[in-house]
Amino acid sequence: MIYKSLKRIYIGLILLFLYAPIITLIVLSFNASKTRSKWGGFTFDWYIELFQNEEIMSALGNTLIVALLSALIATIFGLIGCVAMQQLGRKGRSLITGITNIPMLNAEIVTGISLMLLFLSIGNILGKIGVRFQLGFMTVLISHITFNIPYAILSILPRMKQLNPSVYEAALDLGATKFTAFRKVVLPDLLPGISSGFLMAFTMSIDDFIITHFTKGPGFDTLSTKIYTELRKGIKPEMYALSTIIFVVVFILLLLVNHTPKEPNKKR
């Protein structure tokens, strides 16, 4: 019994450690004083001002669009990659896995810088033929897709390996086209992997700062880069309000999902 409560306490302590700063942020979002270090009384004002703050709203929009698109495209690429890898030999497969893993294993700063260098030289080449090129939404999106691909692959590949190829062949034998066979037989089995890959990619994209920092251009900010700019002169309390809202929304989603009766989902 003591052992059990020790376990509980341990989990509790780790969760406290993980959530302490988040609680701090939530508290700060109700702080009437603009400076972080003073408590100026309770207020809801920042929540109201948040929705009037166009800059933060557009940064939020950018963050979500980039995260959504990059996660979606990266998942598709990841799926294609996994299928393509099945047709390769052992060596080819580990080569491709190695390459796609680079953005995940490499230092973020190196990935960010290497992409920046690429975009800048593309810009130089285009500049010579008279095309104006500028860092911005597209370059950030491309970078996010690139670093999201390994997360998608890592979630899909293990599922792919568990597939029973004879089911797919059976479907073909029964007259299904390749596409139908894939869609009806293979895809459902891959779906948990695909969705967790998507979710992981989405999360990584939302949380990314370093790569965005190096590949973004004028007038394009995600929440991360916006916050980084604000860090210096003091974060605007609206930002705390926004994070609180995001946190609460995600938390509620999580609770909803876990309290609805479970769908007959196979164990991962």
Partner 1 sequence: MKKLFVLLLTSVLVLSSFTACGKEDGGNKLYVYNWGEYIDPAVLEMFEEETGIQVIYDEFETNESMYSKISAGASLYDLVCPSDYMISKMITEDLLQPINWDHVPNRIYIGEDYWEMSKGFDEEGQYALPYCWGTVGILYNTTLVSEPIDEWADLWDPQYTDEVLMQDSVRDAFMVALIKNGHSCNSQTTEELELAKQELINQKPIVQAYVVDQVRDKMIGGEAAIGVIYSGEAIYTQRENPDLEYVIPKEGSNLWIDSWVIPKNARNVENAEKFLDFLCRPDIALLNFDYITYSTPNVSAREMIEDEEIRNSEIAFPTLSNYNLEVYKYLGEETETIYNNFWKQVKAY
Partner 2 sequence: MNKKKLSNHLLSTPFYLWIGAFIVIPLFMIFYYGFTDKTGAFTLENITAMAEPWHFKALMISVVLSVISTIICFLLAYPLAYILSQMKVNSHQYVVFMFILPMWMNFLLRTLAWQTLIEKTGVINGFLTALGLPALRIINTNYAIVLGMVYNYLPFMILPLYNTLAKIDPSVVNAARDLGANSFITFKRIIFPLSIPGIISGITMVFVPSLTTFVISNILGGSKILLIGNVIEQEFTVACNWHLGSGLSIVLMMFIVVNMVLSMIFDKDGEANAL
Site for partner 2 in 139-158 (CB under 8 A): 142-143, 145-146, 149, 151, 154-155, 157-158
Give CA–CA dist 145/97, Å, rounded: 16
24 binds partner 1 (CB under 8 A): no
Give CA–CA dist 232/11, Å, rounded: 35
Among candidates 116, 146, 150, which has minimal Cα distance to 133? 116
- The contact pattern for partner 2, residues 44-63, with x = CB under 8 A and - = no contact, is --------------------
Single out the residue of 70, 100, 148, 212 in contact with partner 2 (rule: CB under 8 A).
100
Give CA–CA dist 243/250, Å, rounded: 11
Give CA–CA dist 170/114, Å, rounded: 46
Give CA–CA dist 110/118, Å, rounded: 12
Single out the residue of 53, 56, 70, 81 in contact with partner 2 (rule: CB under 8 A).
81
183 binds partner 1 (CB under 8 A): no
Contacts to partner 2 from residues 207-266, by CB under 8 A: 207, 209-210, 214, 223-224, 227-228, 231, 235, 239-240, 243, 246-247, 250-251, 254, 257-258, 262
Is the CB of 83 or the CB of 120 nearer to partner 1?
Answer: 120
Contact between residue 71 and residue 201 where contact means Cβ atoms under 8 Å apart: yes
Number of helices followed by number of strands (H, E) in the chain: 12, 0
195 binds partner 1 (CB under 8 A): yes
Is the CB of 10 or the CB of 51 nearer to partner 1?
Answer: 51
Contacts to partner 1 from residues 56-95, by CB under 8 A: 57-58, 60-61, 64-65, 67-68
80 binds partner 2 (CB under 8 A): yes
* Count of positions (residues) in the chain: 268
Report the amino acid identity of residue 78: G
Dihedral (CA of 179, 185, 191, 197) sign: negative
114 binds partner 2 (CB under 8 A): yes
Q: Name the region of 216 (left: φ>0; alpha: ψ -120 to 50; beta: rest).
A: beta
Single out the residue of 1, 2, 17, 89 in contact with partner 2 (rule: CB under 8 A).
17
Chain residues that interact with partner 1, rule: CB under 8 A: 35-38, 54, 57-58, 60-61, 64-65, 67-68, 116, 119-120, 123-124, 127, 132-135, 191-192, 195-196, 198-199, 202, 217-219, 221, 229-234, 249, 253-254, 256-257, 260, 263, 265
